[in-house]
Copies of this chain bind each other. A is one copy, B any other.
């Protein structure tokens, strides 16, 4: 049992922290202003590409990819955790280091299951940060937390797959750099429940792909990233675009969720930690009714509760990461469920307190709190709502301990 990092990781953390302080936080305003002042909002602020170039040149690039030393930095999940947390402290942080969702998950899927051609065409440009990608799974018509509900069809017709369906919450699809989508659908509705699904690669410019509208979160379109509703109407792709084999879609989706979930949790811990720090700073500088906010008991209790919750969620996430590294994603599934239940709710709660301490400013575009709150709230639904994880976790735990 040891709660300190190796020198190697400490040094990486220090480098990412310095990069964030020197380059990322100072660019947040410019980034947002650029989007705000553009006509369409679906534009990439040049500062982002500059930051990416700089991070890449410093070797702070593709730090995730725990299992694929060829492609990434050769870090374990546990080693990546504090880096991901640090990047997550800014809503534009992860992308700077080419570590943002859904590209990370898509790159892992391609690294694990992709053919050489798929890797050449899509994985390499993604690793280089030249393009971005999306993952189209959730559908408006069914409870998509149960992936067997999915209705999108992927029909083999000769050398092609023909895709029909409606997806939404396809994050990143509105980004003009997004060139490729992984689409989950059913290739065989008569197969057993968990082998009906397949995943295929669909270039964004394929005819029949209609990006209808950006969905909003609390009224924000999250531009230029965004979350799209997309109709697939007789969309045809070569049969070689399938990932793995027909019927493997469900298993591939399960595989991506472990790392995907823990990455979200790491980032959210970064969000929550920064929220606490902003809160501390704020309450020290405001006076009401003759007393600094920082001297008021209830404010101090809010800070105390928050730091306790952040630190606990962090430790739990680190333990989950270690188990993923040491044993297997499957064996670590109870710990992954635990952090998926804990971290987003914790972040929502802690950020809510920080908002409250900021007064109305905390709700506005003048701090990162409102954006971070929306992110935390979203993750309580993304990759399965809290209730689904609590249910399966509870079931596991009862099975373990019932005599």
A residues with CB within 8 A of B: 1-6, 9, 78, 138, 140, 142-146, 149, 168-169, 215-222, 276-277, 280-281, 283-289, 293-294, 296-305, 307-308, 311-313, 315-316, 318-319, 322-323, 337-338, 341-342, 352, 355-356, 359-366, 370-371, 373-374, 377-378, 380-382, 385-391, 393-395, 397-398, 400-403
B146, A402: Cβ atoms under 8 Å? no
Contact A304/B363 with A149-B288, A401-B280, A402-B284 known, Cβ cut-off 8 Å: no
Contact A391/B300 with A370-B217, A402-B294 known, Cβ cut-off 8 Å: yes
| Residues of chain B contacted by A371 (CB below 8 angstroms) | 219
| Residues of chain B contacted by A342 (CB below 8 angstroms) | 308, 312
> Once bound together, how far apart are the Cα atoms of A312 and B345, in whole Å?
14
Interface of A (DSSP majority class): helix
Of A1, A3, A382, A395, which is in contact with the most chain B CB atoms at under 10 Å from its CB? A1
| Residues of chain B contacted by A146 (CB below 8 angstroms) | 287-289
Contact A301/B303 with A286-B143, A360-B381, A401-B281 known, Cβ cut-off 8 Å: no
B218, A370: Cβ atoms under 8 Å? yes
Which residue on B lies nearest to A39, using beta carbons? B39
> Once bound together, how far apart are the Cα atoms of A321 and B377, in whole Å?
33
| Residues of chain B contacted by A393 (CB below 8 angstroms) | 300, 303-304, 307-308
Q: With both chains docked as a complex, state the minimum distance between the C-beta of A175 and any C-beta of chain B, in angstroms.
A: 17
| Residues of chain B contacted by A143 (CB below 8 angstroms) | 286-288, 293, 359
Quick one: which of B296, B365, B388 contacts A288, CB cutoff 8 A?
Answer: B388
Of A140, A286, A337, A401, which is in contact with the most chain B CB atoms at under 10 Å from its CB? A401
Quick one: which of B288, B356, B381 contacts A380, CB cutoff 8 A?
Answer: B356
Contact A145/B281 with A218-B374, A276-B401, A316-B311 known, Cβ cut-off 8 Å: no
B304, A390: Cβ atoms under 8 Å? yes
Quick one: which of B218, B287, B390 contacts A373, CB cutoff 8 A?
Answer: B218
Quick one: which of B140, B216, B303, B359 contacts A385, CB cutoff 8 A?
Answer: B359
> Once bound together, how far apart are the Cα atoms of A74 and B4, in whole Å?
22
> Once bound together, how far apart are the Cα atoms of A401 and B277, in whole Å?
5
| Residues of chain B contacted by A305 (CB below 8 angstroms) | 341, 390
Q: Give 13 A-B contacts (CB < 8 Å), ordered by A residue.
A: A143-B287, A169-B360, A216-B365, A218-B220, A280-B400, A300-B390, A301-B391, A304-B338, A304-B393, A305-B341, A307-B338, A312-B312, A356-B385
How many copies of this chain sit in the oligomeric assembly? 4
| Residues of chain B contacted by A315 (CB below 8 angstroms) | 312, 315-316, 319
> Once bound together, how far apart are the Cα atoms of A301 and B220, in whole Å?
30
| Residues of chain B contacted by A319 (CB below 8 angstroms) | 3, 311, 315
Which residue on B lies nearest to A6, using beta carbons? B1
> Once bound together, how far apart are the Cα atoms of A358 and B294, in whole Å?
26
B304, A394: Cβ atoms under 8 Å? yes
A284, B216: Cβ atoms under 8 Å? no
| Residues of chain B contacted by A284 (CB below 8 angstroms) | 398, 402-403
Which residue on B lies nearest to A217, using beta carbons? B363
| Residues of chain B contacted by A145 (CB below 8 angstroms) | 288, 359
| Residues of chain B contacted by A142 (CB below 8 angstroms) | 286-287
| Residues of chain B contacted by A366 (CB below 8 angstroms) | 215
A299, B394: Cβ atoms under 8 Å? yes
